[in-house]
Amino acid sequence: MKKVLLYIIVLSSPFVAHAQFDKLRDSVVEVYGFVMTSDSLKGLPGVTVAVKGRNQGAFTNDQGVFSIVLLKGDVVEFTSIGYKPVVITIPRNIQGNQYSMIQLMTDTAIYLQATIIKPRPTRAQFDRDFINTPVPDDQIEIARQNTSEAKRRILARALPADAREAANTYLRNSATRYYYQGQAPPQNIFNPLAWADFIQAWKRGDFKSSN
């Protein structure tokens, strides 16, 4: 019985192999066609025709013509610099082993920033621009400006008094009030020294608003 089964398998092997070969041959298709631009309908050279999932592909020639052998149902991608990629699927129900197509590709618009080209400046223009170019202050210059007399006067008027200064002011005012208790305090409106101090403070800008 085993010999009979083995004999049948040996005899049927060529028919099985032939059937598989016919099935594989029917699934292979030659795809050829023409790739052109969508706006001017001109042949697009150098387009990459790649089969997704396999290391297989082709390129279009100078007239945009290509030819590639693949399987029915494969996914093909067309790519070219400056154009949008296009992905298509080869139909599975193709009759025969040849398939022709015309593929259009749309260009990709790229907007660049405006470039202004100017002539080289003369020596006089270079010297003028170099001298008038503002240089930002360094840390030493900023510290010097912050510690100037005018800045310190402005900060002194804006800063509130601390506890020690408030206590000293209260004690001085109390001492002055107690000193002139029972009599009118002197008025500095007729004091020339007080007027001199007032004029100097006015020239320094002590009475200017900090805003």
Q: Is the pLDDT of residue 24 over 80?
A: no
Residue 21 pLDDT: 38
DSSP state for residue 133 in the 8-state scheme: S
Instruction: Band the pLDDT of 4: cuts 50, 70, 90.
Output: very low
pLDDT tens figures, 25-73? 568 899 999 999 988 888 999 999 999 988 888 999 999 999 999 898 8
Residue 138 pLDDT: 84
Which residues, 6+ apart, have CB-to-CB distance to 94 below 8 Å? 29, 72
pLDDT tens figures, 189-203? 767 777 888 788 888
Specify the residue for token string 């005012």.
173
Residue 202 pLDDT: 81
pLDDT tens figures, 148-163? 888 888 877 777 778 8
- The more confident residue out of 1 and 190 is 190
pTM beyond 0.95, yes or no: no
Specify the residue for token string 């200017």.
208
Specify the residue for token string 């029917």.
26
d(CA 17, CA 121) in angstroms, rounded, equals 83
Instruction: Band the pLDDT of 166: cuts 50, 70, 90.
Output: confident
Taking alpha carbons only, the member of 43, 27, 174, 171 closest to residue 105 is 43
Q: Is the pLDDT of residue 16 over 60?
A: no
How open is the CA angle 108-110-114, to the nearest 5 degrees? Answer: 160
- The more confident residue out of 134 and 187 is 134
pLDDT tens figures, 75-111? 999 999 889 999 999 998 888 888 999 999 998 877 7
* Three-class SS state of 53: coil
The residues spanned by each domain of the chain are 2-105, 123-204
3-state SS, one letter per residue, for 155-167: HHHHCCCCHHHHH
Q: Is the pLDDT of residue 188 over 80?
A: no
Instruction: Band the pLDDT of 209: cuts 50, 70, 90.
Output: low
**Chain CA centroid to CA 73, Å:** 40
Residue 107 pLDDT: 87
* Three-class SS state of 104: strand
User: Which CATH topology does 2-105 take?
Assistant: Immunoglobulin-like (2.60.40)
Instruction: Band the pLDDT of 206: cuts 50, 70, 90.
Output: confident
Kindly state the average pLDDT of the residues 128-135.
86
| Contact of 65 with 43, CB cutoff 8 Å | yes
Kindly state the average pLDDT of the residues 168-177.
84
